[in-house]
Copies of this chain bind each other. A is one copy, B any other.
Amino acid sequence: MADRAAVRRGQLGMTEGELARRAGMSVAYLRRLWLLDGDFDPSAVRRVAEALGMTAEELTGGRPDAPEGQSVAAPHPALSQLPEGECWERLGTHGIGRLGLPTRAAPLVLPVNYLVDARTVVYRTEPESPAAVTAGAPLSFEADHFDDRSSGGWSVLLTGTADRISDPAAVRALAARPGARPWAGGPRNLWIRVVPVQVSGRYIRHL
- Interface positions of A (Cβ within 8 A of B): 41-44, 46, 63-70, 72-74, 76-79, 90-92, 94-98, 100-103, 105-111, 113-114, 138-147, 151-155, 157, 159-161, 178-179, 181-186, 197, 202, 204, 207
Contact = CB atoms under 8 A, between A and B. Distances in A.
Given A67-B95, A151-B183, A159 B108 contact: yes
Contacts of A114: 69
B186 A78 contact: yes
Contacts of A185: 73, 76-79, 204, 207
B110 A157 contact: yes
Contacts of A63: 92
Number of copies: 2
- Residue of A77, A142, A147 contacting most chain B CB atoms (<10 Å): A142
A159 B157 CA distance: 20
Given A77-B184, A139-B106, A145 B67 contact: yes
Nearest to A112: B69
A68 B95 contact: yes
